Structure 1
Amino acid sequence: MNGIETAGREPANPSGTLPPQRQVRVLLYGDVDLNIIDGSAVWLTSMAQTWSLAGAQVDVQLKAVEDRTLLSGELRSMPGVTVWPAHPPQGRRALEPAPAAEALQKLDGQDPYDVVMVRGIRICRQVARRGAFAGRLWSYVTEFGYPHGTADSGTDTGAERWQQLGEIAAASRLMLAQTEQARAVLEAMVPAAAGRTVVLSPMVPDAIGPSTTSGTSAASNASIAPTAASAAAPGPGGPVRLVYTGKFARRWRTDQMPVIVEYLRAGGVAAELTMVGDKVQHDPEHPDWAERMRAVMATPRPDVAWLGALDRTAALEAAARADITLGWRDEELDLSLELSTKVLESCALGVPPLVNRTAAHEELLGADYPLFVDGAEDGPLEIARRIAAVRDRLPELSARVLAVAEPYRMTARADTLKTWLARIGLPGPARTQRSRPVRVVVAGHDLKFAGELVDLLTDHPDVDLRLDHWSSLHHHDEASSRELVDWADVVMCEWAGPNAVWYAQHKKSGQRLVVRLHMFELRGRWLSELAADAVDRFVTVSEHYRDLVVEHLGLAAERVSVIPNAVSLADLDRPGLPGRHHRLGLVGMVPLRKRLDRAVDLLRELHRTDPRYTLHLRGRMPWEYPHEWRKPVQREAYMDLFARLGDDPVRHAVAFEPFGADMAGWLRKIGWVLSPSTVESFHLAPAEGMASGALPVLWERPGARDIFGDEFVVQDTAAAARLILETDADDDARAARQRTARERVAGFDERTVTASWQQVLLSGL
């Protein structure tokens, strides 16, 4: 990545042909012990197999010395997967985070990887603090969803945990979350995670499926391809077969599971329970629990079989012979934002799982799923009654859960990995034969719109990037800037502020200077001091603004390129929340030209027909911008507007929501993104809304139609209300407009925009 020795200033690809694509190399590490079969350990083997299916070459560094090969043996048998054994310090059997990070860095030093995927907050934090694998680290952290005090939560306070996650996110190319709920929490609490967090649910092998020969609800052979379920309910007098696989732990209620069988039999329902596993987890809050669990295991019961530790295939076969899998847990674990691999495997087998009712489980199985239990209220008796009530519905439930599992198959997850690789430009071109990388400086006081540009330059194999971050519009460390201008081949000034004036004055011979203007710069007094002839290329975000720049600076039109603000279609395309089409969103209300008054007038107009509409105002309040609040006209206008809103009946339908980086998560609930401004150079919020499945409404202003098209531009507030009401009254009309919006916004996709930036910045170097 940055700083890799490449060569010269000649064209990287003079023939114009694309270099051959290469195989992506992945280094995978999980802070898990493969000697213990649990969901986290199974994840590591599944992740390696999924990467292999995606066409990657995978190296897996083990954490622990192999005492047994139930899972590590499976890893070693996978094509395209290499397993590196653990070599912990003397007297240890497993790697702690620091030596684990050293082992990963040693492997990477031998032949650098394209992706380093690491799971676990302790190891992710260690890698992040070392600054290792810049631009290549994919961090998978699930622990933040656990309540404090559980065995999986660690001892950090909440504030410490969020601070650690912030450090990890800032060092990561991608953050991985198991569910949409987990992504929403992570992005809301950790600003650095917004825009770089993706959902990677657990995955199940394609081959896991129900038997077509078994006369019960699942298979005796768990390795055949998935088929339509052919389950039958247990026959008259036949037992309901229950199974639990995993660790034995207090919060997993494993000591009480045999009691469920006793209650079923007492109620006249024959039942059997199979328990798979041998790891009894110590509970520091209940030090005698482990001994009680062992006593339960040692007590002979004709209806309970303890099979001990099995390899993964045998464990799946045991689950496949059951009618129901048990996933009953302590209510505190309902706060976890993880999705259990065991639950997904049970579904893939066509065996209905009994699980706690949580938001994640409802999203997976449906709110009406009959095998939900209440972790706080339900005991073995209530659970036995629930099982008895569904005894005759097991074939129906088997078919239902089998369909649920399909999107979680490994081939589907492998396709997802390929999408993410393409998003970040992998597999990328090989490095050219330059003697050194192109040295690029990005300079500016506010880089919030330059994220895609910084990512492009960070990831480019022929670029060494440095940032000159000015402390304010007018202030910078001049000594540092002088060092950078002496070092750089290319300087890109974000905003045509005093930074552009300074770099134009200090430009070196043969150096390339690119300046991007947004809008306010044309009103800046400093712009008259800009040596425009020293600028090789000006960039604006719209055709309309290009025309203004050409006129204002007296430039030839060919010296100004139009590159729109980038929108990440991959990040913004998330499932919408119920009822979103009745929610209007306005992002930013400062300065006055944002026209908050028009948004309130629109809400009032809509309420005349349908009072279900609400207005969500996201952003900082006017008094949070001192330079605006000091202006008497601005301050009085806002005070008058808020006073009128306070007396208006629609005030109950207006929500003021704080500024945050998690726009993609917020847009899931928004159906209409408003752009009532009188002036905008681009306006990113409606474009992001279009990518998210929301629809934009733009009041007529110069340049709006050029960017967003005629379909979503209205003359006034009454026309905006008509557009919304007519669209929401017709599902087909809304779907058609959503398709139009997505087609329109495709031209703003980050990959298209970064290709344009590469041409402007690096062409001919």
Structure 2
Amino acid sequence: MTQVLLIAGAAPTLSMLKAAVEQFRATGATVRLTGLFDREAAAGVLDVVEVHPLPEAVAERGTASARAIAKLPLPRRTWASAEHSPWVRRHARNAQLLVALDAGAVYTVWRLAEHNRRADAVFGVAPALRALQSRGRHPVQYAVRDVVRTVPSPSVAARSAKRTVRRGAGAVLRRASSPAVLRTGIGAKAWRTAVVAPRVPDRMREKLARRVSLSMAKGGRKAGATTVLHQAADRIANRKLSAALLADAARAELARGKDDPELRMKAVEAALHLADQRFKRKDFAAAAAQLSTAFSLAFDRVLHFDGVSSPMAEDPEGYLAVFRRSAAFRELSAPRGRALPAAPATGGRPLRLLVTTYANARFLGEIRDRYENHSEVEFRYLDFSKDETLAPLARDLTKVAEHALGGRPSLRAKVEEALRPHLDWADTVFVDWCAGPAALFTCIDPGTTRVVVRLHSYEVFTAWPHMVDFTRVDDLVLVSEHLREMAEKVLPQLTRSDTAQTHAIANAMDLARFQREKTGGDARFTLGLVGVNSVAKDPRWALEVLRLLRRRDERYRLVIIGGGLNRKTGAAARAYDDLLEAEVRELEAIGAVHRVGQTDDVPTALTDVGVILSSSVRESFHCGLVEGVVSGALPVVRDWPFFAALENGARTLFPADWVVGGPQEAAERILKLTASEETWRAATEPAAKHALAEWDWSVVGLEFDRLLLGDKE
């Protein structure tokens, strides 16, 4: 009996398919159907034809395979779906007739016919019927032909032989470079030598290095895995391959919570060199991708957030010099200006104020309450994370970079469509956090709408501010003078006359609610830390202060208010938290430390605290400290190391006597000013009054009125 295999690149027309099946079956043939369609698409012929939908076969191979196949053109997608299907291979091998029902299946039929040379391979139902009729009229001729064509074509045989050799060699390589082998010293040394051997082609060296590096990492030799990539990169002439290996080596180190400055800088320089080359050729997508690689390495959180130091804080100009030499980088925030200056509200109506952020509204509570209920303000609020169009754009630094370089006109169109209604409505836009939303608002001309951006210390250590065109920002708000000084070192364009006017305005805080009576006279022996959710808070510094105090007086203890460190951020944070946890547990066991945990009632938690610490390495302001001071606690502020070398810092933000240089000086201040109830109150009461007079919302709110309302104040 003749066997017919029908193949469709798309869902066939059901009526035509039924008619074709009936014609084939009328000749006595057995008919089977496969293709890129759902089972429901062939439901009408399931009772007479065996059907095998290829999407089901692809799904069995896993999500990764399905995604890879989905990206292929239709003819290749059909073949990629069919070639690994045992059902298709079995019935194609036994068929006398292979039929492509549409153009998307022609390539698949041709490839299957190379393996089954006895079968007739045709495109369309009519040629297939003619082939069946010819077989019926000339059975002897076809029988002889079938005997002659019992083996695949020479080209198929050659490909199969090559594939067998490659697979065999690959299997040998995989066994020889397995994690078990590379876990041993001899195996690791042998493969490191092979990777750096002379006269190895670049692409072969690159693939070998990746294979050996992966096995080393799985075998527990993670440092060696990085070294292999680095050494291979140094011996590869192809700049793109070399840069990719350097970037992967640097990423691997950072993923371990480590930093190799020499390796990292080599990787950054290599990526920026490629970015400039691609930018010069107007390949903006490739240039943006390389810039993104450089950013991901230079601004990795291990360097600035998950440790107690930062290479950029130590020397901002030196750290960013390699970027400033890059033409592609300079183009990102090149001044484009605006066609018209910002205009005030017209027609005697209230000021139309749009306040916007991306998910993080932590510092907007008092501001929203004030202006949502202000008689001279018409208020709107936009959270980019809740907008289906804006959310992915505000997260995609690479696409924003590509647009800034001169590519992706579609991005500008999307931003225009999404933001123009807001800009047309608003007189003033207040963008909290100088990140993705700020970059999007300045990638288009804001028209006559005034744009105000607030920058917190976090963003200074990220790539986003470099994507913002500050000639389209009217006012830049920073919460302290030392942050303004650091921002100007990181973003020198802020000092030009044609860019945003900068303002130092403290965070909005309702401090009056923290004025509570202390629970007892012993409160002066209780140290407090508010918020220890990041390594930058450096609570281990506070523990050192506590130990020094308890050597003199065991009544001193520490209360930690807030949740613990987020261990999910990476290996560096986990390593710090491991040390912290061991120290805290030891002190908890003797009653020296008490963890309150996360609470919505911080004012009540502070009634037990008589000394408030700021142990941080980096703060733009430190609200928790000021709240503690208003509660009646003695302020002890570490001279925040990230800013200690600047003209401004903790010593200029706060009264100088609040600030200490190290744990010993902190302990001495505490011992001196908590020696008695009288000395403690004599120090804490003026501090509380100072904090209220300087930073309560009743005072700071007027500064925001002057900024946002102007003559509407």
Q: Same fold (TM over 0.5)?
A: no
Structure with the higher helix share, 1 or 2: 2
* Larger RCO (CA under 8 A, 6+ residues apart): 1
What's the TM-score, normalizing by structure 1? 0.41
Q: Highest CA radius of gyration, 1 or 2?
A: 2
What's the TM-score, normalizing by structure 2? 0.44
